[in-house]
C-alpha cells in the first residue's frame, strides 16, 4: 500500500523499489526501514512509497543496532598469536628450503588455534594486512591467506571441517615457494621470462610437498595446486576450465590476490581494502567467483549507515544507504556541499578510506 514518507516509522518494509532519477533504485524492494533510511527518502524528496505492515519493535531495533555496530577491536591476545604463527611458519618455510618435509600436523597445531579466533569473531580479520612487512611478506602472506580463506568459507556457510581445510589450504598455498631459488623471492627488479616461469611452478611444487599427507583432503590439495587458476582460463599451471575449479580453489584464489593487493611489496605499494575489492570486481572481472568476492566484502570492507568515508575526489562523506547489490558503492552525502551521490552510478568516484 502507498504510505506517505512523513508517516513512516522504523520497521516498515518496502514492497516496491524506490526509484530516483537513475535507472537504479534508491532503495530496493524488501528493505527494512530504519530512521536513517527514512531521512534519506526525505532528503531525496520522495513523498510516498509502497510499504508493507509494521514489524515488531524488536526487529526494528535490531536493524538499527546492526547499522551502528563498530568494527571490533582486535585484542592483544590475537595479535600475539598471529605474530607467533608467522614466526612458526617462517621457521618451517626455511626448513623446507633446506630440504625438510612438510609436517601438516605441525602447521595445523600452530595455525588452527589462531583461526579459531577468527571463527569466533571474523571482524578481527579486517586489519591483519597492516601487520605485514615488505621484508617478511611471504610469511605474513601464508598466515593471512589461510585466515582469509577459512573466514570466507565460514561466510559461505560451508561446514566446520571444510572451513578448517580451506584455512589450511590457504596457509600452505605458497609452500612451494620454498623450492624456488631464494634470490628470486627477494628480487625487486623485473623477472626474466625464465625466472617468471620458475615462480609459476610453485603450485606444482607445493602439491608435491603435501600430496601424501592424510590430514589434507583431496580438494584441499587441489586448492594448493589451483590457487592461481582463473575462471576465464587465464590462470596457471594448467589454464583449467571453470567446471574443473572447485570451491576451495576459488576461495584460496580470491584470498591470495586480495592480500597481495593490500600489502606493500618491494616492487609496488599497497592499496586499501576498498580499492582491492574494486580491483577484484572490475580489473579482474571474469577471473574470480563473484559469490566468493561477495563473501569477502563484509569481512574486509564493511560499511554501515552513518560511516564517515573519504572519496577519490578528496571529499569527506557520510554513508546514507547501502544497497545489497553494491556493498562498496553506497549512497553518500558529501559534507562540503550536502550533495547526495549514488556511487553505484558514478564509476569515476569511489571510497578510498573509512574514517573511524
| Together in a domain, 329 and 197 | no
Report the CATH number that the domain containing residue 97 is assigned in CATH. 1.10.3210.10
Number of compact structural domains in the chain: 3
| Together in a domain, 139 and 185 | yes
Sign of the torsion angle spanned by Cα atoms 317, 319, 320, 321: positive
The predicted structure's pLDDT at residue 21: 65
The predicted structure's pLDDT at residue 110: 97
Is the CB of residue 18 less than 8 Å from the CB of residue 49?
Answer: yes
C-alpha cell of 228? 592461481
Specify the DSSP element, H or E, that contains 308.
Answer: strand 308-311
| 27 Cβ contact partners less than 8 Å away, ≥ 6 residues apart | 14, 17, 18, 37, 40, 41, 321, 323
| Together in a domain, 29 and 154 | no
Strands 2-4 and 48-50: antiparallel
End-to-end CA distance of the chain: 39
pLDDT profile of the chain (356 residues), mean per 10: 83 82 71 79 83 55 40 67 96 98 98 93 86 93 98 96 98 98 89 95 98 98 98 97 97 98 86 90 92 94 87 93 86 93 90 80
| Together in a domain, 235 and 96 | yes
| Together in a domain, 209 and 350 | no
**Residue 44 to residue 52: CA distance in whole angstroms:** 21
The predicted structure's pLDDT at residue 24: 65
Of 262, 280, 300, the one marking the end of a domain is 300
User: For 250-273, how does the pLDDT look when each residue is reduced to its tens digit (9 = 90+)?
Assistant: 999 999 999 999 998 877 888 889
Give residue 196's domain range: 76-300
Integer CA distances (angstroms), 229 to 75, 223, 297, in order = 36, 9, 21
The predicted structure's pLDDT at residue 41: 83
Of 45, 67, 89, the one marking the end of a domain is 67
pTM as predicted: 0.79
Residues in the chain, total: 356
| Together in a domain, 86 and 150 | yes
Amino acid at each position: 500500500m502507498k504510505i506517505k514518507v512523513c508517516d513512516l516509522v522504523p520497521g516498515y518494509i518496502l514492497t516496491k523499489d524506490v526509484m530516483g532519477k537513475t535507472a537504479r533504485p534508491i532503495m530496493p524492494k524488501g528493505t527494512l526501514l530504519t530512521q536513517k533510511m527514512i531521512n534519506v527518502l526525505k532528503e531525496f524528496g520522495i513523498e510516498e512509497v509502497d510499504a508493507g505492515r509494521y514489524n515488531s519493535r524488536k526487529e526494528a531495533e535490531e536493524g538499527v543496532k546492526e547499522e551502528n555496530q563498530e568494527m571490533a577491536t582486535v585484542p592483544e591476545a590475537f595479535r600475539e598469536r598471529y605474530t607467533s604463527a608467522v614466526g612458526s611458519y617462517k621457521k618451517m618455510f626455511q626448513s623446507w628450503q633446506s630440504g625438510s618435509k612438510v609436517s601438516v600436523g605441525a602447521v595445523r597445531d600452530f595455525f588452527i588455534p589462531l583461526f579459531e579466533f577468527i571463527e569466533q569473531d571474523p571482524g578481527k580479520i579486517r586489519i591483519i594486512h597492516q601487520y605485514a612487512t615488505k621484508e617478511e611478506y611471504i610469511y605474513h602472506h601464508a598466515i593471512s591467506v589461510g585466515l582469509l580463506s577459512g573466514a570466507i568459507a565460514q561466510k559461505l556457510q560451508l561446514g566446520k571441517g571444510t572451513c578448517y581445510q580451506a584455512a589450511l589450504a590457504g596457509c600452505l598455498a605458497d609452500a612451494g615457494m620454498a623450492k624456488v631459488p631464494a634470490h628470486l623471492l627477494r628480487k625487486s627488479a623485473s623477472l626474466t621470462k625464465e625466472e617468471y616461469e620458475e615462480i609459476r611452478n610453485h603450485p606444482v611444487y607445493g602439491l608435491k610437498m603435501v600430496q601424501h599427507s592424510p590430514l589434507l583432503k583431496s580438494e584441499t590439495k587441489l586448492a594448493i595446486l589451483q590457487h592461481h587458476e582463473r575462471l576465464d582460463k587465464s590462470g596457471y599451471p594448467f589454464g583449467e576450465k571453470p567446471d574443473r575449479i572447485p570451491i576451495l580453489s576459488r576461495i584460496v584464489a580470491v584470498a591470495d590476490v586480495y592480500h597481495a593487493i593490500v600489502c606493500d611489496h618491494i616492487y609496488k605499494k599497497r592499496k586499501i581494502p576498498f580499492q582491492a575489492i574494486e580491483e577484484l570486481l572490475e580489473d579482474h572481472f571474469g577471473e574470480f567467483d563473484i559469490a566468493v568476492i561477495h563473501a569477502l566484502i563484509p569481512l574486509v570492507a564493511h560499511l554501515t549507515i552513518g560511516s564517515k568515508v573519504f572519496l577519490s575526489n578528496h571529499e569527506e562523506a557520510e554513508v546514507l544507504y547501502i544497497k545489497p547489490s553494491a556493498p562498496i558503492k553506497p549512497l553518500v552525502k558529501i559534507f562540503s556541499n550536502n550533495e547526495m551521490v549514488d556511487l553505484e552510478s558514478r564509476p569515476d568516484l569511489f571510497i578510498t578510506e573509512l574514517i573511524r
